[in-house]
Amino acid sequence: MDAFFASVTIRDRPELRGRPVLVGGGLRGVVLSATYEARRRGVRSAMPMSRARRLCPDAVVLPAAFDEVEATSAAVMEILRQVTPVVEVVSVDEAFLDVAGALRRFGSTTAVAEHVRARVHDEQRITCSVGIGPTRSVAKLAGRRAKPDGVVRVPPEAVVDFLHPLDVGELWGVGERTRDRLRRLGLRTVADLAHTPLPELRRALGPRAGAHLHALAWGTDSARVGEGPVAGRPAGRSIGAEETFGHDTDDHEVVGRELLRLSATVARRARAAGLAARCVSLKVRYADFTTLTRSRTLADPTDVTATVHATAVALYAALGARRTRVRLVGVRLEGLRPRREVHEQLVLGAREHGWTDADRAADRAVSRFGRDAVGPASLLGTRRP
């Protein structure tokens, strides 16, 4: 999808068409998505909103329409599944399709692309771009090249010519750090990478990453659609929530309350998904942006808000006092497994009804009457930071 959050957010506001629009924000937020008018002025997603506004003072800034984005995403993915069942959803606005089985019906890969683009445009009133290639990685880069509102096809015999002039940083999986490291090795283009002996790459980047990048540089990555490092596994290896405070704080009560709010959020999501977590992980970012994580594995998997919170608080307390203030806290559940596979440890003398029942009752109330229907008393009257 092209500038997905921005496109959806302004879809029903024709007066904004052709104007630079930034979606995202909050007091200390970043740009979630920007229209191409804003991008032409140098705005990029993930850029601090303050900087984006400086680059583009006349931009309209809007909060993201998350519900509508979600619904649009689902509708688009459904269009894709009608082309082929082999769909690998990468994110809310991106997917891979293996269209080998659809060629007889459509005639060509390009015809598939135009079919999808036409349907998305007609039914959702937004544009998308399609990259076609023999591997996921090549298709991914072709898709980037196709933006906005276009199609780029890289046939197998053209892959090497397509890849090799690119900057190494354009490869999917090479971020800023790896790009810097490659630069220091004197490797700037994908061709440089491709012509570096494999053992040398493995030494420099580790055996796995080295081999992976070498394959990407020759377009020979063999993962099939649906078998990528992300997809192909049961979704949901972790559930997390984090929040940057409006102002850095050293008030333990404020931090503790926020940990409760986050714990309640992730535990509720786990319960809704029928999952329990072996491990609770705490993330803390200080005012100077140093970030650390602490985690604890529990004796028994849990989906209980109070247990998650108690663990998060214990991890936080174990950090001790710091000189700097806290900018962000986060809570994440890991080691998830289906709750029905977890047999409850019976404790002699335990109450017959405990937090598990309270959580479930609260979940039912929330699902009937809304998020504010019931919750921890200590969160009453507090606004999200």
Partner DNA sequence: TCTGGGGTCCTAGGACCC
Which range touches DNA (CB under 7 A), out of 81-89, 169-177, 253-261, 368-376?
A: 169-177
Neighbours of 152 (CB within 10 A): 19
Overall residue count recorded for the chain in this entry? 385
Pick from 13, 17, 42, 50: which binds DNA (CB under 7 A)? 50
Is 98 a binder of DNA (CB under 7 A)?
Answer: no
Which range touches DNA (CB under 7 A), out of 6-14, 35-43, 205-213, 361-369?
A: 205-213
Least distance between DNA and beta carbon 77 (Å): 13
Find, among 123, 97, 90, 127, the residue nearest to 112 by Cα: 97
Secondary structure letter of residue 147 according to DSSP: -
Tell me the C-alpha distance between 336 and 239, whole Å: 8
Is 26 a binder of DNA (CB under 7 A)?
Answer: yes
Positive/negative CA dihedral, 9, 97, 210, 170: negative
Which range touches DNA (CB under 7 A), out of 7-15, 114-122, 200-208, 369-377?
A: 200-208
The number of residues that bind DNA (CB under 7 A) is 61
Q: In terms of DSSP bridges, do strands 275-286 and 291-302 run parallel, antiparallel, or are they unpaired?
A: antiparallel
Q: How far apart are the first and last CA of the chain?
A: 32
Is 243 a binder of DNA (CB under 7 A)?
Answer: yes
Task: Please report, as residue ranges, which positions from 275 to 334 form the binding site for DNA (by CB under 7 A).
Answer: 278-279, 288-289, 291-297, 327-328, 330, 332
Is 198 a binder of DNA (CB under 7 A)?
Answer: no
Q: Which is nearer to DNA, 115 or 140 (CB)?
A: 140
Is 240 a binder of DNA (CB under 7 A)?
Answer: yes
Is 145 a binder of DNA (CB under 7 A)?
Answer: no
- 143 close to 129: Cβ distance less than 8 angstroms: yes
| Known catalytic membership, residue 94 | yes
- 213 close to 193: Cβ distance less than 8 angstroms: yes
Secondary structure letter of residue 64 according to DSSP: -
Given 68, 94, 170, 334, the catalytic residue: 94
* Residues acting as catalytic residues: 94
